[in-house]
């Protein structure tokens, strides 16, 4: 190594010892291997050398350049580690085992009522089914004895999608699929079809204290040999007395739905006003809660079940309205409002 190369190397090593941060390190890099750095400058002396000397000297400078680069990289790593250690030492110590001081969340009133109904029906041998929120026209209407031009379609102002499908306007839209799912067990093994299927429904409604455009229903069906209206009334009464844990005044009146025959409207005496009349019950003292009836023979046929052999009942419980009655919620819109302050009044965790 020529004395000049050695001198540059020694100076670099001494300067590197004094570097204590990234900025100084970068300065040193520029000073030695930058375009006008000491190492680069060494090459200027090559002009006066013979070809053989040029070769040896060139190699020498290259080796030095690589050494400088390696030492800079080592120093960079060392400084980076020191920076991390310093940062960690500044972080406040905390104990991850201390329980968080957070308020517990709670279930939405509709979820609470839904689960309660599910438990009641499960205890009576019903299975709980889930179904899509987007359904076909066939599922929502045609399979339920409501052909394309039937005026009963006007009862549900439905949201249609561009592809001809629609947002489920009632949970009855799942009936056909559920008959098809369980009909073989009914026909071959004699197992009654007993299912409930809660779900979100959508209608283009003008909203008021008891109408929402997005609300929950819970459909229930039972199909077997010799099922009658008495079975329907028994299950409805049991469900209501279990949910409310007290006697509730109900009335059954005729109601028209193309998918049941005969059809009924089951109303309960309004628990907000005690039957006196208020905005929650449209000032009638009664709240339409659970239309129901004996499944229409055409609907059973569409589900692959012979109506001469089997009969059944179906109901469409208004879950959102049930939650209103259960928790004393005067305005249905509070349930979709998303205000935790409002909703937490009705649930266990305040």
Residues engaged in binding ligand FA5 (CB under 6 A): 170, 172, 203, 205, 211-212, 215, 217, 219, 257, 260, 263, 288-289, 291-293, 314-316, 318, 320-321, 332
Q: List all residues 6 or more positions away from 84 whose beta carbon is below 8 Å from its beta carbon.
A: none
Query: CB burial class (10 A; 0-12, 13-18, 19+) of residue 90?
Result: exposed
CB of 215: closest distance to ligand FA5 in angstroms? 4
Tell which phi-psi region holds residue 229, choosing left (phi > 0), alpha (psi between -120 and 50) or beta.
alpha
Q: How far apart are CA 24 and CA 17, in angstroms?
A: 11
For ligand FA5, the closer of residues 188 and 230 by Cβ is 230
For residue 250, the surrounding DSSP H or E stretch is strand 250-254
CB distance 43 to 65 below 8 Å: no
CB distance 272 to 254 below 8 Å: no
For ligand FA5, the closer of residues 39 and 329 by Cβ is 329
For ligand FA5, the closer of residues 166 and 289 by Cβ is 289
CB of 332: closest distance to ligand FA5 in angstroms? 6
CB of 189: closest distance to ligand FA5 in angstroms? 25
CB of 305: closest distance to ligand FA5 in angstroms? 16
Q: Tokens standing for 307?
A: 């109506």
Q: List all residues 6 or more positions away from 103 whose beta carbon is below 8 Å from its beta carbon.
A: 349
Residue nearest to ligand FA5 (CB): 318
CB of 320: closest distance to ligand FA5 in angstroms? 5
CB of 95: closest distance to ligand FA5 in angstroms? 49
- Whole-Å CA distances, 99 to 57, 103, 228, 326, 333: 69, 11, 55, 34, 36
Give 220's strand partners: 196, 315
CB of 91: closest distance to ligand FA5 in angstroms? 52
For ligand FA5, the closer of residues 72 and 292 by Cβ is 292
Give rounded-to-5 percent helix, strand, coil for the chain. 50, 15, 35
CB of 289: closest distance to ligand FA5 in angstroms? 5
Q: How far apart are CA 270 and CA 251, in angstroms?
A: 12
Query: CB burial class (10 A; 0-12, 13-18, 19+) of residue 137?
Result: middle
For ligand FA5, the closer of residues 37 and 198 by Cβ is 198
CB distance 134 to 166 below 8 Å: yes
For ligand FA5, the closer of residues 75 and 170 by Cβ is 170
For ligand FA5, the closer of residues 5 and 171 by Cβ is 171
For ligand FA5, the closer of residues 57 and 346 by Cβ is 346
């Amino acid at each position: 190594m020529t004395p000049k190369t050695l001198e540059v190397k020694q100076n670099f090593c001494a300067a590197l010892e004094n570097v204590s941060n990234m900025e100084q390190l970068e300065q040193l890099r520029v000073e030695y291997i930058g375009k006008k750095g000491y190492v680069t400058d060494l090459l200027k002396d090559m002009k006066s050398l013979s070809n053989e000397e040029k070769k040896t000297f060139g190699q020498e400078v290259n080796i030095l350049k690589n050494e400088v680069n390696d030492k800079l990289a080592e120093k960079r790593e060392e400084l980076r580690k020191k920076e991390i250690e310093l940062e960690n030492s500044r972080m406040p110590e905390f104990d991850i085992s201390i329980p968080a001081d957070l308020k517990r969340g709670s279930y939405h009133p509709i979820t609470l009522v839904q689960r309660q109904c599910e438990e009641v029906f499960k205890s009576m041998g019903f299975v709980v089914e889930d179904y899509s929120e987007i359904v076909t026209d066939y599922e929502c209407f045609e399979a339920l004895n409501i052909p394309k031009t039937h005026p009963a379609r006007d009862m549900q102002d439905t949201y249609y999608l561009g592809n001809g499908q629609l947002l489920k306007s009632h949970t009855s839209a799942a009936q056909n699929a559920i008959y098809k799912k369980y009909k073989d067990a009914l026909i071959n093994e004699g197992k009654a079809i007993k299912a409930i299927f809660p779900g979100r429904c959508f209608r283009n409604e003008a909203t008021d204290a008891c109408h929402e455009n997005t609300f929950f229903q819970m459909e229930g069906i039972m199909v077997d040999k010799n099922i009658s209206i008495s079975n329907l009334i028994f299950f409805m009464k049991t469900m209501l007395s279990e949910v409310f844990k007290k006697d509730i005044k109900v009335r059954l009146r005729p109601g028209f739905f193309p998918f049941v025959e005969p059809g009924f409207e089951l109303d309960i005496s309004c628990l907000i006003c005690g039957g006196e009349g208020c905005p929650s019950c449209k000032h009638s003292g009664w709240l339409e809660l659970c239309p129901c009836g004996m499944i229409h023979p055409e609907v059973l046929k569409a589900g692959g079940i012979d109506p001469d052999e089997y009969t059944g009942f179906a109901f469409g419980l208004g879950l959102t309205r049930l939650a209103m009655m259960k928790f004393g919620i005067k305005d249905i819109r509070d349930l979709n409002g998303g205000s935790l302050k409002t909703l937490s009044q009705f649930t266990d965790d305040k």
